[in-house]
Structure 1
Amino acid sequence: MAAQTRYSNVAIVLHWTIAFLIIGLIIFGLLMTNPDMPNRFALYQLHKSFGILVLLLSIFRLVWRLFHKTPSLPNDMEKWEVFAAKFTHLAFYGIMIGMPLLGWAMVSASPLPIPTELFWTVPWPDLPFIPEGEQLEETFKFLHSNIGKLTIGLIVLHFGAAMKHHFVNKDNVFVRMMPWTRVRD
C-alpha cells in the first residue's frame, strides 16, 4: 500500500475554515476591545458566534483526526523539528477547543445579564457549572486575552515553518495541506 501523501479533503477544508475563522476572531477581538470602536456589541456577539463555531468544528476535526491517518513527516526532519511540529499541532488543538471554552466561561461568569445569541438567532446558554462573579470573569478574561496573544505567535511560527518546508526544504509538508495542489514527486 502506498504511503499517504496528502491530507483528506475533509481535513483540508476543516484546517482552512478553522484557520480563517481564528484569524477573524483575533481581528474581532482586537477591534471589539477598542473603546472607540462603533458597534462593539455587534462585534462581541459575532466574536462569540464564531468562537462557538470554531469550538464545534474543532471537536469534529479532532474526532476526524482520531479516525483518519495523516501523512508522515519527512524522514530527514531533525528530531527537534518533529517535536516542534507535534507540539505545535497539540497546542493548536488546545487553543481551538480551549479558547472558545474560556470565552464561554468568561461570558458565563459575567454578572451582566447579556444573553448570547449565535448569529442573532440561536440562544446559547451559559455554562451551568460556572458561578457568576466579577473576579472569576476577570480571570477568564485575562487567560482568554493572553492565550489569544500567544495564538498569534503560534500562527506566525506555524506559517514560518510551512514556508521553510516549501521554499528551503522543498518538501511536501506545505502542499499536502493545500487545496487544489499536487504533491511533488
Structure 2
Amino acid sequence: MNAPGNDPAESVAPDRPLRFDVVTRILHWAMAVLIVTMLFLGAMLVGSLGNYHRVLILHETTGIAVLILAVVRIGNRLRRPAPPMLPSISRPERMVAAVSEVLMYVLFVAQPVVGWALVSASGAPIRLLGGVHLPAITPHSAHLYHLLRDLHTLLAFGLLAVFTAHMCAVLAHTLLLRDQLLSRMTFTSIRRERG
C-alpha cells in the first residue's frame, strides 16, 4: 500500500487528498441508487394500473431513506470538506458546481418532506416496508393535498434535471476532457492498492 501522499491519483498535497474520503464515496453512491429508485418508482405510480399500493409503499420507503441519508450526507459534508477542485475545472464551472451541489442537497431533503406532507394531507396512512407507520405532518386537507401534489411533481422534475445535469457534467469530464474527475468518487485505486 502506498504511503499517504505518494500516489498522485490519491492526493495533490500530502495532507489534502484529491479523492473524496471513503465514507463520502459510500454515501454518494448509496444516494445515487436511492434517487434513481425513487424517481423510477414515482414514474411507476403515475402510470401504474396494478400493484399501486405496493409501489406506493416502496416509493414512500425509498423517500424516507433518501431523507435520512440526505441528513447524514449534510452532516458528513460539514465535517469533511471536499478535496480541491481539479485544475481543468474553470472558475465559472466551479461556481455552477457549488450552486448545483447546494441545490441537490435542498432537493434531497425537500422532495421527501413534501411527499410525506402530501400523503399526510391526503388523510391516507404513511406506510413503509416492514409495517412501519409514520405520523402525519400536515392536517388532512384536499386543498393542501392538491398544492403539495403539484409541488411534489415540480420538485421531482427539478431533481431529475439537476441529477441528469450532474451526470452529464461528469461524463463530459470523463469522456471528453479525460481529467479523471469521476475517479474522485470511485473505489478503483482502493482495490488496486489492496491487490
5+ residue gaps, structure 2, are: 1-13, 191-195
| Residue 99 of structure 1 pairs with residue 107 of structure 2 | no
The match for 1:170 is 178
Instruction: Please tell me the residue identity of whatever aligns with 2:73.
Output: R
- The amino acid across from 1:115 in the alignment is P
Larger gyration radius, structure 1 or structure 2? 2
In structure 1, the residue matched to 2:7 is none
1:66-111: CA deviation from partner (whole Å, max 9, x where unpaired): 001211112342221011111111111011111000101111111x
Q: Is the 8 A contact 1:29 1:47 kept in 2?
A: yes
* Equivalent residues in 2 for 1:1-185, closer than 5 Å: 1-34=14-47, 36-110=48-122, 112=123, 114-127=124-137, 130-181=138-189
**Cα deviations across residues 142-176 of structure 1 (Å, max 9, x unaligned)?**
01111111221212211111011112222232111
Judge conservation of contact 1:31–1:37 (CA < 8 Å) in 2: no
Q: Deviating runs (4+, > 4 A) in structure 1?
A: none
What amino acid is the match of 1:126? Answer: A
Match of 2:188, SS state, is coil
Instruction: State the TM-score, normalizing by the size of structure 2.
Output: 0.85
Alpha-carbon distance in structure 1 between the residues aligned to 2:105 and 2:187: 21
Q: Are the structure 2 counterparts of residues 124 and 149 from structure 1 closer, same or farther at C-alpha, using a change threshold of 3 Å?
A: same
The residue matched to 2:127 in structure 1 has which SS? Answer: strand
Distance 1:122 1:164, change over 3 A: same
- 1:6 positional shift: 0.8
**8 A contact 2:25–2:186 mirrored in 1:** yes
Number of equivalences? 177
Q: Is contact 1:73-1:173 (8 Å) kept?
A: no
Letter in 2 for 1:161: A
In 1, Cα distance between equivalents of 2:181 and 2:16: 14
Distance 2:157 2:53 in 1: 22
